[in-house]
Structure 1
Amino acid sequence: MYNDIEQACAAIVPRLRLSPRVGLILGSGLSALADEMTDAVVIPYRDIPGFHEPKVVGHRGELAIGMLAGQPVAAMRGRFHFYEGYSMQEVTFPVRVLRALGCETLIVTNAAGGLRPDWQVGDIMRISDQIFLPGMAGHHPLRGPNDERLGPRFPAMVGAFDNDLVPLTRAVAADLGITLREGVYCMLSGPHFESAAELRMLRTLGADAVGMSTAPEIIVAIHGGMRVLGFSLITNLALPDGPPANHEEVIEAGEAAKPKFAALLRGILARME
């Protein structure tokens, strides 16, 4: 994998105008934030060895590197998913490349179903912890021989979401008048939306939101020594006695909440050292 990372960087670095320090993964409906970059270079995933083109609506499949809110940022406009047939190592490979490019912080976003009946569509949840069910079942990005050049054999996840960006995020949300939810994100493999029994199980486990991405990306970022900040945009209420979810409403909710979410991310970037 180390050689693969070097090959990917070799396709990116000659085109750069700056060295990114913050990696940003933009989920469903959020790719437009990267349009605000200045001095940007945009590289299609197909031009980067080891990257794949997303097949999900709302994921552009581009890496944009430039200045955003005063920070040198490398933004992934969309991701590829485990349910598309990729391995966890392939899904998380871009995070390895972001780290190799110089990113010390990863801000990751996703669209998720809200498991709390007192929450609303359009709410933003900071991921305070996670449950990685596919990883617990053996589909893990760190499975196999460990390369110490990339990180330690057994990275700790307790405390992984507690860093100096948390109070900063709360302060930015308060200043913008945004209600910031905080809770546990659970990843399932997908691609089906959950059954009523599965939703009841997730609430019993302590999850507040559920989705089909993000958890392995966070683990690989922690493995690589990155500081992590994660957000779920609640695009539907995933309740056992509620209406069934569909992908169209996920996209619509993402579009409606985009200005609020973009303002929060810009504010966080602007206040980072």
Structure 2
Amino acid sequence: MMMEQINESKTYIEEQLSTTKPDIGLILGSGLGILADEIENPKVIPYADIPHFPTSTVSGHKGQLVIGTLQGQHVIAMQGRFHYYEGYSMQQVTFPVRVMKALGVEQLLVTNAAGGINESFNPGDLMLISDHINMMGDNPLIGPNVDELGPRFPDMSQAYSNELMKVAKSCAQEINLNLQEGVYVGNTGPTYETGSEIKLLRTLGGDAVGMSTVPEVIVANHAGMKVLGISCISNMAAGILDQPLSHDEVIETTEKVREDFIKLVKNVIKKMA
């Protein structure tokens, strides 16, 4: 059943394309979809038109695929993603990653807006994700394994490619960008964490926290894709600063750093082999 759905989505997307198939995938998180506007000769496909695709329900997520070239590379960008808290299953949240793989994508760049747990971070910092902690209480691979998609027990010891992380660090140096590095914690949301929960996550080794990314990265690893993850630290997590948290603040911060973000990601894509 899943293979049929993946193939139907893939066929529909391929029918819309006159250009070469994409080999780099981008998932653009809250407020970061602006990068898709940089894609040349874009073919835009609303999620609602693609068979079996869910639709984005969150502000800051446009809800469309943008396919074209960026820095000379053939890319497919998700301008907006799906979240577990929207009521979708883990399989639905990660379905687009399956379709990207079927289209020929071998490298995936995942971005998100996250709350800073590490007190040396500031809102507006960009953080290279070195690893993650899954606190979602679920996993997109639960259920029968489809052997054509990947192994029953995938290795996650290098969930984020060391090779791509080196590329990102050298690109940040070239543009004089102070790129933080740390562990991303994935929670379900949609509530922001309590101050006590943030203390717990810091004790566990978390540097930033958000409500996405982990499911897609698990599925990308299952599919044998190389992954690079970048978080925009959009606010400090609960209990660090004496102020309430809001989604508006998240969008506002991502808008402030978008130039640095676009510069960094374009530079990275240029160098992805």
TM-score range, shorter chain: over 0.9
Distance 1:18 1:44 in 2: 20
> What aligned pairs does 1:233-272 form with structure 2 within 5 A after superposition?
233-242=232-241, 243-272=243-272
DSSP-derived class of the 2:162 partner:
coil
Q: Deviations over 1:204-243 (max 9, x none)?
A: 1100000000001000000000000001100000142422
Q: Deviations over 1:131-170 (max 9, x none)?
A: 0111xx3x21000000110000000111222432121111
> What aligned pairs does 1:82-97 form with structure 2 within 5 A after superposition?
82-97=84-99
Does the CA-based 8 Å contact 1:163-1:227 persist in structure 2? no
CA-based RMSD? 0.9
Letter in 1 for 2:159: A
- Displacement after TM superposition at 1:249 (Å): 0.2
Partner of 1:189: 188
Is 1:164 paired with 2:163? yes
DSSP-derived class of the 1:129 partner:
strand
Distance 1:122 1:212 in 2: 18
Q: Which runs of 5+ in 1 are unaligned?
A: none
Does the CA-based 8 Å contact 2:161-2:226 persist in structure 1? no
Distance 1:247 1:265 in 2: 23
Query: Which 10-residue stretch deviates more, 238-247 or 26-35?
Result: 238-247
Percent identity between the two aligned chains: 51
Does the CA-based 8 Å contact 2:193-2:238 persist in structure 1? no
Distance 1:218 1:272 in 2: 18
- Displacement after TM superposition at 1:52 (Å): 1.8
Q: Which runs of 5+ in 2 are unaligned?
A: none
How many pairs were matched up? Answer: 270
DSSP-derived class of the 1:164 partner:
helix
- Displacement after TM superposition at 1:184 (Å): 0.3
TM-score, length of structure 2 as denominator length: 0.97
Distance 2:272 2:146 in 1: 31
Does the CA-based 8 Å contact 1:117-1:239 persist in structure 2? no
Partner of 1:55: 57
Does the CA-based 8 Å contact 2:24-2:105 persist in structure 1? yes
TM-score, length of structure 1 as denominator length: 0.97
Distance 1:225 1:73 in 2: 18
Does the CA-based 8 Å contact 1:113-1:211 persist in structure 2? yes
